[in-house]
Structure 1
Amino acid sequence: MIERGNAIPSVGIKLVTASGTTETTSLEAFGTGVVVLFSVPGAFTPTCHVNHLPGFLANAGKLKAAGVDKIVCASVNDQHVMKAWAEASEALDSIDFLADGNAELAEALGLARDFAPYGMGTRYARAALILRDGVVSDIFVEDGPGVNASGAPAILMALEAANA
């Protein structure tokens, strides 16, 4: 699994933003500035849709005030599903969405998990990373169900501690 001090791997991704969908690499998309990248098992899934994404959306202004240049939500869904989720959540003005349909970045980060028993195949672990110029400064991976360590309040606390 990726650790503090590791550079983000360069893997092909589709990035869904307010401007549209672009094919790029994770390094190009997250290699400069301060980026909060949070990963969810699936778009529209109950915890992801009701707890994880809304927390980042509600705290987007605070995260930006704490020095975050970009907030990105990653999932192993295709770009069409990610765009529909972003639009349904009214999040496109605040959060970019990473479509990692083949779980290539999830695998490269060591955050891929087997959700086959739930009929979902390979998915991301619920996690959040703080990247500074493409290098992981902090990583938070949930060790159980729910949103605690990887939620927006925990990320804000980490950013405030780093900026103190």
Structure 2
Amino acid sequence: MTIGIGDSLPNASFRVHSDKGPAYLSTDDVFKGKKVVLFGVPGAFTPGCTMNHLPGYLDLNAEIRAKGVDTIAVVAVNDVYVMNAWEKATQAADKILFLADGNADFTKAVGLEADMTPGGMGTRSKRYSMIVEDGVVRALEVEDSPGQIEASSAGHMLELLQR
């Protein structure tokens, strides 16, 4: 069952890169007491994610944060090393928090997993974005197909934040 508006995020752990190497962050670490825009992508370095989805959140970073957003985070079913490399390649450090969900634990817990086995990618995340306030989902937009980037775009999230 997919998480919905008004639901609290489940307890889960993400892997992140730190100065000391891989580290863990819990959902509380990321969301408790904060307003967060989280977007989920099918995979780091994939064309749509790298050339279209992520750049919007870089381009509109200041405008989104001006709406009271503490953190903009991206989550993907990739390991922490791939997510760290993606962060470096996109020069997104200090702008976007890269959350590795290598085993899809968080993705499955929120019901947003996608079977991309036919394309050789296994279990991945649907493309989505959400606004989370103190661990509670306030807005959720899930794309109909992984190649679509409209409802989950940074521009659309900015519109929702302005309401």
Question: TM-score band (shorter)?
Answer: over 0.9
What secondary structure does 2:162 align onto? helix
Q: 2:159 aligns with which of 135, 157, 160?
A: 157
CA distance in 1, matches of 2:138, 2:21: 29
The 1:43/1:9 distance shift into structure 2, 3 A limit, reads same
Equivalent residue for 2:124? 123
CA distance in 1, matches of 2:64, 2:140: 16
The 1:136/1:20 distance shift into structure 2, 3 A limit, reads farther
1:65 maps to 2:66: yes
Q: CA deviation at 1:20?
A: 6.2
> Runs ≥4 in structure 1, deviation > 4 angstroms?
17-21
Native 8 Å contact 1:17 1:97 kept in 2: no
Q: CA deviation at 1:113?
A: 0.5
The 1:62/1:17 distance shift into structure 2, 3 A limit, reads farther
Native 8 Å contact 1:18 1:93 kept in 2: no
Q: What are the within-5 Å matches in structure 2 for residues 79-158 of structure 1? A: 79-144=80-145, 145-158=147-160
What secondary structure does 1:93 align onto? coil
CA distance in 1, matches of 2:131, 2:52: 19
TM-score by length of 1: 0.94
Instruction: In structure 1, list runs of 5 or more residues that go unmatched.
Output: none
C-alpha RMSD of the superposition: 1.4
TM-score by length of 2: 0.94
Native 8 Å contact 2:15 2:22 kept in 1: yes
The 1:82/1:35 distance shift into structure 2, 3 A limit, reads same
CA distance in 1, matches of 2:20, 2:51: 25
Equivalent residue for 2:78? 77
CA distance in 2, matches of 1:105, 1:76: 9
CA distance in 2, matches of 1:16, 1:32: 22
Native 8 Å contact 2:71 2:97 kept in 1: yes
Q: Aligned partner of 1:152: which letter?
A: A
- What percent identity do the matched residue pairs reach? 43
Q: CA deviation at 1:15?
A: 2.7
Instruction: In structure 2, list runs of 5 or more residues that go unmatched.
Output: none
CA distance in 2, matches of 1:92, 1:123: 24
Native 8 Å contact 1:34 1:70 kept in 2: yes
CA distance in 1, matches of 2:22, 2:62: 23
- CA deviation profile, 1:98-145 (whole Å, cap 9, x unmatched): 000000000001000100010000000000010001100000000133
What secondary structure does 2:130 align onto? strand
Q: Aligned partner of 1:33: which letter?
A: K
CA distance in 2, matches of 1:55, 1:120: 24
